[in-house]
Amino acid sequence: MTIPQTAPLRAVTGIRTALAVGGVIALIVGILILALPGKSAMVVAVIVGLYAIIAGIVYACLGVFSKARGGWSRVGHILLGLIFVIAGVVAFANLAQTTAWLAIFVGVLVGVMWLMEGIVALSTLADAGSKIWSIIFALISIFAGLWLIFSPLAGVVVLWWLLGITLAVLGIMNIVRAITFGAKLRQGA
């Protein structure tokens, strides 16, 4: 079976398109985070609120319409659905507070993870290939974790800015990759 000459060119075109679309989306989101950090964070709160409402409706419907489940399972699904819907409605009623709460929650969560990661790095020091780098990593991770735990809102602001910068840079890089990807194959076509 012979492979048509256009097959590799089609694959290159598909990859280039995916890189370009992903790059443009990342660049736009990165710029929005950098230009409008508060509003873009609020969009995340809106997405969480929508998710809660939709998940709540699904859970409630599972409880109401599922004939295969037992009584307590159905009641549990209905109650869980109501809790999710209430949480979503509360999130929409207080978007600014929900955004701040999510930022603090994420800040503390990441802080605890970084703190634990640093402690684990120290606990595995005997097995480390490079003890100096492991100690440096552990100390930075512990310091950053403690900073986020004790100052989660300030820490999340920095992380949000880093996310915006990273998305913008990666978006530009993917757009450049899309332009240059498969150049040799395209020149031969």
Report pLDDT for 1. 44
Q: Please give the DSSP secondary-structure letter assigned to residue 125.
A: G
Does residue 1 sit within a domain?
A: no
Does residue 128 sit within a domain?
A: yes
Report pLDDT for 188. 59
**Per residue in 10-68, pLDDT tens?**
777 888 899 999 999 999 999 999 999 999 999 999 999 999 999 999 999 998 888 77
**Per residue in 96-142, pLDDT tens?**
999 999 999 999 999 999 999 999 999 988 887 888 999 999 999 99
CA atoms within 13 A on the CB side of 66: 17
Does residue 146 sit within a domain?
A: yes
**Per residue in 142-166, pLDDT tens?**
999 999 999 998 999 999 999 999 9
How many residues in total does the chain contain?
A: 189
End-to-end Cα distance, the chain: 21
C-alpha 185, offset from chain centre = 35
Domain that holds residue 141: 6-188
**Closest to 109 measured CA to CA, from 147, 79, 148:** 148
Kindly state the percentage of the chain with pLDDT values over 90: 71
Does residue 73 sit within a domain?
A: yes
Q: Structural domain tally of the chain?
A: 1
Spell out the alpha helix ranges (H) of 66-182: 71-93, 95-123, 131-150, 152-180
